[in-house]
Amino acid sequence: DTGVSQNPRHKITKRGQNVTFRCDPISEHNRLYWYRQTLGQGPEFLTYFQNEAQLEKSRLLSDRFSAERPKGSFSTLEIQRTEQGDSAMYLCASSFSATKNTEAFFGQGTRLTVV
Amino acid sequence: AQSVAQPEDQVKVAEGNPLTVKCTYSVSGNPYLFWYVQYPNRGLQFLLKYITGDNLVKGSYGFEAEFNKSQTSFHLKKPSALVSDSALYFCAVRDLAGAGSYQLTFGKGTKLSVIP
């Protein structure tokens, strides 16, 4: 499978616990994005990497959220001290920066439930 | 700031009939416009995009969309709907003129139901 891969697909955690999600982009893609989608809403942008550099962060990305892409390949999104409001689908996408016109390809997402 | 509106939460059409899913946008500069489809328990799949050029763009699975700059719209269309087209459709915009130029802003989505 050469698409964007996200793990785990589902995560149930207790409030206050930390969670970490992983995203493996399409291999030649140097741009990587994280989005959050809640029920009945469209995806909302969280952050964006070009190679290993985090270039954009949304105001939605509170201090409890941190994302990394240490070698410009896979990325992790960590949520510390989870709250019930963090329950959502977390989507990762990647694209290739040869031109500005390329579309982003999305993974299947990680569904987080905070109980 | 950029924004997208999908005025219909749900669209129902009979199989074989034409379908339209509406989208309007707001950007400060020139828009890049996208349509994605989401099936249950699956990620977003890219359907088509408008960057520049011909206002009618063709995409995957027989879908097409018409860019109308004066009406700031980018409606998704298909001449003959299939039951398998039933899914959640998202319109998205990117404004290269503004800050955060690589982020997509999505609409809330439109649930398309094709009735056999």
Q: Is residue B43 less than 8 Å (CB to CB) from chain A?
A: yes
Peptide bond into A8 cis (omega under 30): yes
3-class state of residue B16 by DSSP: coil
Question: In this structure, what are the phi and psi dihedrals at residue A85, rounded to the nearest 5 degrees?
Answer: -70, -10
B74 vs A95: CA distance, rounded Å: 22
- Write out pLDDT tens, residues A52-109: 999 989 888 889 999 999 988 999 999 999 999 999 999 999 998 766 667 899 999 9
Distance from CA of B49 to the nearest CA of A (A): 8
Identify the residue whose tokens are 């963090």. Answer: A86
pLDDT at B98 over 70: no
- Write out pLDDT tens, residues A28-42: 899 999 999 999 899
pLDDT at B115 over 60: yes
| Inter-chain CB proximity A101 and B49 less than 8 Å | yes
Facing B34 at nearest CB: one of A44, A100, A103: A103
Helix (H), strand (E) counts: chain B: 0, 12
Partners of A35 in beta bridges:
A45, A91
- Write out pLDDT tens, residues B63-80: 999 999 999 999 999 999
